[in-house]
Amino acid sequence: MSRIYINGRFLTQKFSGVQRFATEVTLALQSLRPDVQILVPPGEITSPIAGGVQVGRLNGQGWEQLELPRRASKGLLLNLGNTAPLMAGKQIVVIHDAGVFSTPETYPLQLRIWYKAMQKALVLRRTKIVTVSEFARQEILRNLRARPEDVLVVSEGADHIDRIDADERILTTNGLQPGGFVLVVGNLAAHKNLTALGALAKSLAQSGVKLVITGGFGGKAFREGVAQALPEPALYVGRVSDEELKALYGAAACFVFPSRYEGFGLPVAEAMICGCPVVASDIPVLREIFPDAALFCDPLSPDDIAAKVMQLLADKALASKLSNAGMQLAETMTWQQCGEEMNAIINRFA
């Protein structure tokens, strides 16, 4: 069997859900097979993975499109982060969702044009595509006109949370009491739908409960007035470490996920594995992945989001039921299983 190369561009990118997936799948594959080699562009490494081989002189898309395919030409190239070189020979690409088609307002125009053109070109070349839910698979088939036999699904994991020690200093620093706040993880991307939480913020304030929102809220969009549409009153704690996030999950009265579009919904699984009951958007992918473990709300109705959260806070039996159901479900989501599924796909096409 030829060598398996992993596109290690994700190792130099800002860490988010896609980079979490790529990191955990790479670690799982390293434990499963000896023929994995990670190819990395020049730059600072941001993920805890050993064994990367730095190649080339470029970075970013230039490295991925021009230098990576030459270096990986004698094996199968695995791309874990939505993009892949157009001129590579045998390769697999993980496309997490079809957001550039379904929620185009989320993406800058230049990036949207590039992603659409690149992914359509990969489909024309019969590149094997892997995604993370049946919903995302159907979106890819519909928007990219891919052949059904070329698009496969793997699960995602949540057990990385179990390896993390909670840093509860974030609670004391911000005056947060266990059970005294509702948690949201998000950013200014339009599909994250944070602007729909205004009614919830006001309802919680009247009940003496804080709305705590984590994520990055700097940059040009924030300065240009997006802040005026964000929910108030709320406590914005900015970007937090994995250790701090685990402490927030563990102490929150509930976790709210108002997103209008996702390929999977990893923060929901993270909250569930920490025992935090979840109020989640009633969208197809979350119904698919978390069917009986969350209280679902209409993401287009701020009043319904607020009503469902207040219902959960008032009904301790319901909160306990959802907490138990969420933990049982999330504990079945392991990165080792995801790695084994990916390994089976690699063996099938290598």
pLDDT digits 0-9 by tens, 8-45: 999 998 888 999 999 999 999 999 999 999 999 998 77
- Write out pLDDT tens, residues 163-213: 999 999 999 999 999 999 999 998 888 999 999 999 999 999 999 999 999
pLDDT beyond 90 at 144 = yes
pLDDT for residue 227: 54
For 11, which DSSP code?
G
CATH superfamily of 160-330: Glycogen Phosphorylase B; (3.40.50.2000)
Q: Please tell me the distance from the alpha carbon of residue 44 to that of residue 218, in angstroms, as a whole number.
A: 22
Q: Residue 243 contacts by C-beta under 8 Å, 6 or more apart in sequence? A: 164, 165, 166, 167
4-157+334-349 and 160-330 agree in CATH topology: yes
* Torsion of Cα atoms, 23 then 28 then 29 then 34, to 10°: 120
Rg (CA), the chain: 21
- Given a contact cutoff of 8 angstroms between Cβ atoms, the answer to whether 217 and 231 are in contact is no
Would you identify the CATH topology of the domain 4-157+334-349?
A: Rossmann fold (3.40.50)
pLDDT for residue 20: 95
pLDDT beyond 80 at 220 = no
Where along the chain do its domains lie?
4-157+334-349, 160-330
- Given a contact cutoff of 8 angstroms between Cβ atoms, the answer to whether 11 and 52 are in contact is yes
- Given a contact cutoff of 8 angstroms between Cβ atoms, the answer to whether 184 and 193 are in contact is no
